[in-house]
Amino acid sequence: MKVFLTGGSGYIGQATIEALVRHGHEVTALARSDRATGIVTGLGAKAVTGDLTDLSVLRNAASAADGVLHLGWSAERSAEVDLAAAEALLDGLGGRGPYVHTGGVWVYGDTEGLVDEDAPKNPPEVTAWRLENEARVLGSEGSHPVLVMPGVVYGRGSGLLEYFFVEPARATGAVRVIGDGSNHVTLVHVDDIAELYVLALGAPAGSVYSGVAENLPFATIAPALAAAAGVPGKVEHISFAAAYEQMDVIAGAYALDQQLTSERARRELGWEPKHLDAVADIAAGR
């Protein structure tokens, strides 16, 4: 299959290009800089110059593909840019093949136990904008939309946990834990979520899949984050108010207590996560 993807030079995108190539797909990736071009071509993809606001570029690239993966994200005007890009990609692809859109399980808010994709949504401030975009994508007529909702992605010594907890701990000498750390965090290794994106190209139209391999209390992973930061055993419990002051609105996401099952992806797509010991992988920087 000829696959076009956005976000190919990013953290999850690089792993996804590798997975696509490994499965025999012909990959074209959006690249907004010489650096990004070097990354995606080095992984075996062809580069298309442009960014998420170049709607004609997105439309043309999608029209030449059999399937599209939208992993790209804009830090500025996130909701507006994401929706416009999605609509351009859907328009270019038409109903000829699958369009896989990226969501995230944070939109479910506190889940009060283990839930699946049909659970009510109550997103924190940082991801509230996703709800309307996802509804628009899934409701698009004459197309083949699929929604992949990753948990907190880790692995390869990078990801949001690295950025918001490991790197700050290197500077302060301790990993910050919001409250007592009893809240559960949804986790998935970057290589495993990449495999789910590839499998999603074969999913029925309108499908929604959570990409979660483990649900662990934050207090359980905090020592692993401290080990990765080089400050083993150093954990600092802080209030939500302090977390919000230090981390801004994303603190509301890391304070969530949520558990998601990926049974649907396992049953319908045959997804089999290989990385099932996040604590060991995070501590070792893997």
Q: Write out pLDDT tens, residues 46-104.
A: 999 999 999 999 999 999 999 999 999 888 888 999 999 999 999 999 999 999 999 99
Query: 190-200 vs 11-22: helix axis angle to the nearest 10?
Result: 60
Residues of the chain with pLDDT > 70, as a percent, come to 100
Rounded distance between C-alpha atoms, residue 217 and residue 91, angstroms: 42
Residue 286 has pLDDT above 80, yes or no: no
Mean pLDDT for the stretch of residues 113-128:
97
CB of 154 within 8 A of CB of 284? no
46 phi, psi to nearest 5 deg:
-90, 145
For residue 7, what pLDDT band results from cuts at 50, 70 and 90? Answer: very high
Mean pLDDT for the stretch of residues 242-268:
97
pLDDT of residue 228: 97
Residues of the chain with pLDDT > 90, as a percent, come to 97
pLDDT of residue 184: 98
Residue 253 has pLDDT above 90, yes or no: yes
pTM higher than 0.95, yes or no?
A: yes
Mean pLDDT for the stretch of residues 141-151:
96
Question: 2-151+188-211, which class in CATH?
Answer: alpha beta
CATH architecture of 153-186+214-260+274-284: Alpha-Beta Complex (3.90)
Mean pLDDT for the stretch of residues 116-122:
98
Average pLDDT over the chain, rounded to an integer: 97
* Nearest in space to 260 (alpha carbons), one of 133, 150, 181, 138: 150
Task: Tell me the one-letter amino acid at 262.
Answer: S
Mean pLDDT for the stretch of residues 248-253:
96
pLDDT of residue 75: 80
pLDDT of residue 67: 98
Is the fold of 2-151+188-211 the same as that of 153-186+214-260+274-284?
Answer: no
Rounded distance between C-alpha atoms, residue 277 and residue 63, angstroms: 40
| pLDDT digits 0-9 by tens, 164-214 | 999 999 999 999 999 999 999 999 999 999 999 999 999 999 999 999 999
Residue 157 has pLDDT above 80, yes or no: yes
Q: How far apart are the first and last CA of the chain?
A: 30
How do the domains of the chain map onto residue ranges?
2-151+188-211, 153-186+214-260+274-284
